Structure 1
Amino acid sequence: MTRHRTLRPAALALGTALAALTLAVPAEAHGPAADPLPAVTPRAETPALYDDEAGGNADADDPAIWRNANDPDRSLVIATAKEAGLRVYDLDARQVQAIEPPSTADPDDAPGRFNNVDLVTGLRLSSGRADIAVTSDRGNDRLRIYRIDRDRPGGPLTDITDPAAAPIFSGGQDEINDQQTAYGLATWTDRTTGRSYALVSRRERTSIALLEITATAGGKAGYRKVRTLDLPSSFRLPNGAAWSPCAEPGELPQVEGMVVDPANGMLYAGQEDVGIWRLRADLTAAPQLVDKVREYGVPGVYDEETEECTAGTDPGFGGSRISADVEGLTLLTESDGDGYVLSSSQGDNTFALYDRELGDDNEYEGGFRVTSASQTLDGSEECDGAAVLNAPLGTRYPRGLLVVQDGHNTSADGGDDRESTGFKFVDLGELMDRIDD
């Protein structure tokens, strides 16, 4: 969700080389405003989640779509609910399993909090190959790993996390309690080596860590850190001024939404108040800024009393396609191998599509909205996470499925006025028809 911001001093974690980097985006990103975007409506929605004691502190965030190759009609959507853990839904958006995050021995320690989730297909475990769901546990600064077995009694997901799994960014429990911990997540299997990885960003920092997912004894899975990379936190504008996004004191512009294109091993990472970066998924080369948010370069002053930023005059250095925060990135692959990098533009409740072809420099290809289908089936606003799968999913979604988080859900029963969140299921075939129009 949108965070409070303050102006930060100039600093580049990548060093002086990146400090002098001139950040470029496609020329069309600064052109005139686009025509009104096409709209699609959801076909189904999950039960409302409520982020309060009565609702179990459940807050919808990020989905992933698992295709059941043996019976596509019995495919699943696996989604995070923050302090309420994971939720698993069938293709009718009905809940089939709820998994609580791990508890803490000390009540003063930060509770488990699942932020993002992604999948790995056919991971080799000591007990054989399996599909797994990997989630970032922000509360404990770790990954949690679940084996997927659609027909397992008691629920399709089983926790197989190695008990020895260590914190990703923190040196101990005191640092974990500060919650500058594991945040965004994307998985990646290197087609050359067959090894599988998770890329994990750090809350309130610009760091991204590359973790190799490893098989351990007893059918468990763990991970080891390969390397980390820090994106910039300050930028040199065309007028020579240094700029940092406005944030609360001590915060740097974090990354959450991420996705890897398996065809070329490129990671796309959404730095929420900056834009979309493209970089090698093995984190061995300098990143490139594909597109900027509209607010890029706008000065801001943080007000301690209101916990809000007061924006200054826009110098006109931002993009025109996406508005902060940049969130749920996902990859839409077409049957011919082409397709799009899809990003939610949280600030204006839209979704943007970029060509995934590197030769086209990830050119912007258009966008869309997810709007209300009825009074009780609303659209998507302030979308945190998205997932798309262009593959037949049985009779319900024969042309594939798009799942998006809704940060301002309208409760289907109409009688509960608490703020709620959820996930909307969109027929991908309908979306592709609208894009083609």
Structure 2
Amino acid sequence: MPLPFRSCFIPGLAGLTLAACTTAETEVPVEVRIANATPAVTVTARGETTPVGTPNADAADDPAIWRNAANPAASLIVGTDKKAGLYVYGLDGKTRDFLDAGRVNNVDLRDGVAINGQNGILVVASDRNDVANAKLALFRLDSATAKLTALGKVDAGAGEAYGVCMYKAQEATYAFIVLKDGTIHQVALDASGATPTGRIVRSMKLGTQSEGCAVDDRTGILYVAEEDVGLWRFDARATGSTAPTKIAAADSKNLVMDAEGVAIAPIGEKDGYVLVSSQGDNAYVVYNMRDDSYVGRFRVVNGAIGGSEETDGIELMLGDFGPAYPGGLFIAQDGHNAAAAQNFKLVAWDDIIKALGLPR
């Protein structure tokens, strides 16, 4: 849920002052100061995507990354314009494809999934064209042409579709769809035939509005952000417990509500980091997977490329992405982007860990 787009008054946050206010016509970042918020280090983006096609609106929302192992610089980004459809971008930020899919909110993908008789890249988006009946929209991404092909939709329960993240387990490929009221359905997907199918295998529940999520395929852990409450984890296994465990509270210190996008940085067999968009003060918070401890906070500020503010979706993938992003790629939706429509900012993971003082 974005903060007010042009207003300098943000209700519901005690102890807040604004040193500067950004409108859509200026590149000066919103400087939100929460009285008790933990300080954040700063980094700058090395790239950005072209703006989405919907102007003067909260439109860009969530990115997903496909890494080309054979040619990392030819990797692709899929991003949502939640008013219009899906974009595919190159690492140069240029649009490679757009597919009119209507109101698709969040997106995720997995490679090596059976699609129409052969393995490919399966892209899944939360489809909210019908706010009363959630659906998952499935697509195939052609890595050679950077084109998306619609495969079909599967039912995902009553309610408004909001967040989505994928889980590739040994027995099946799943999508977790997060409904706006905090209900989470785990859907087993089958795209191997002419028409994709989906089956809800179990459901979980958080108490209030939730959206951002990410799954660690190594450990079978699902991370979900409850916007005004904090960050939770669940057992992602279809046979696992449905009880949540709180990792961090949205306490206006480390994590300032709204808690929005979630991304992971898996390292080794079990270690790594979980990142959450602290939308309330334009920051990103990092937690240690091993013990849920707080690691640090950072912001993406203006440099040669503008910073990012009021971020909804984020994504992170480690590994070589070419000369500009040798250690990994972090992507953040930018809720302002000066006078243009919203877009996505690209940040080198190496820059983030250096700013936070983390080991490489």
| Short-chain TM bin | 0.7 to 0.9
| Partner in structure 2 of residue 277 of structure 1 | 232
**Contact (CA 8 Å) 2:164, 2:177: kept in 1 or not?**
yes
Distance 2:110 2:53 in 1: 29
Give, in angstroms, the shift of residue 336 of structure 1: 7.2
Q: Does 1:214 align with 2:190?
A: yes
1:36 to 14, 23, 39: 39
Q: Does 1:148 align with 2:141?
A: yes
Q: Does 1:167 align with 2:155?
A: yes
Give, in angstroms, the shift of residue 224 of structure 1: 1.2
Distance 1:424 1:277 in 2: 26
Residue correspondence of structure 1 range 225-304 to structure 2 within 5 A: 225-232=200-207, 253-281=208-236, 282=238, 284-294=241-251
Evaluate the alpha carbon distance shift between residue 226 and residue 37 of structure 1 in structure 2; reply closer, same or farther with a 3 A threshold.
Answer: same
Give, in angstroms, the shift of residue 395 of structure 1: 2.7
Distance 2:350 2:269 in 1: 15
Q: Which consecutive unaligned segments of at least 5 residues does structure 1 have?
A: 8-31, 102-111, 171-179, 233-252, 295-318
**Contact (CA 8 Å) 1:91, 1:396: kept in 2 or not?**
no
| Partner in structure 1 of residue 32 of structure 2 | none
Distance 1:206 1:269 in 2: 10
Distance 2:268 2:94 in 1: 29
SS at match of 1:48: coil
Distance 1:59 1:37 in 2: 27
Residue correspondence of structure 1 range 5-24 to structure 2 within 5 A: none
Q: How many residues align structurally?
A: 326
Give the strand-richer structure, 1 or 2: 2
SS at match of 2:352: helix
1:347 to 268, 271, 280: 280
1:280-329 Cα distance to aligned partner (Å, 9 max, x none): 113633111111112xxxxxxxxxxxxxxxxxxxxxxxx62111110110
1:47 to 39, 46, 50: 50
**Contact (CA 8 Å) 1:199, 1:211: kept in 2 or not?**
yes
RMSD of aligned Cα (Å) = 2.4
**Contact (CA 8 Å) 1:148, 1:158: kept in 2 or not?**
yes
Q: Which consecutive unaligned segments of at least 5 residues does structure 2 have?
A: 5-9, 13-34
Evaluate the alpha carbon distance shift between residue 126 and residue 364 of structure 1 in structure 2; reply closer, same or farther with a 3 A threshold.
Answer: same
Q: Normalised by the size of structure 1, how large is the TM-score?
A: 0.70
Distance 2:325 2:345 in 1: 14
Give the helix-richer structure, 1 or 2: 1
| Partner in structure 2 of residue 60 of structure 1 | 60
Distance 1:40 1:51 in 2: 28
Distance 2:37 2:97 in 1: 42
**Contact (CA 8 Å) 2:109, 2:124: kept in 1 or not?**
yes
SS at match of 2:335: strand
Evaluate the alpha carbon distance shift between residue 430 and residue 254 of structure 1 in structure 2; reply closer, same or farther with a 3 A threshold.
Answer: same
1:387 to 306, 312, 315: 315
Give, in angstroms, the shift of residue 125 of structure 1: 3.0
Distance 1:216 1:34 in 2: 48
| Partner in structure 1 of residue 18 of structure 2 | none
Q: Normalised by the size of structure 2, how large is the TM-score?
A: 0.84
**Contact (CA 8 Å) 1:49, 1:58: kept in 2 or not?**
no
Give, in angstroms, the shift of residue 181 of structure 1: 1.5
Distance 1:6 1:348 in 2: 13
1:157 to 148, 163, 177: 148
**Contact (CA 8 Å) 1:370, 1:379: kept in 2 or not?**
yes
Distance 1:433 1:228 in 2: 39
Q: Does 1:363 align with 2:301?
A: no
Evaluate the alpha carbon distance shift between residue 35 and residue 291 of structure 1 in structure 2; reply closer, same or farther with a 3 A threshold.
Answer: closer
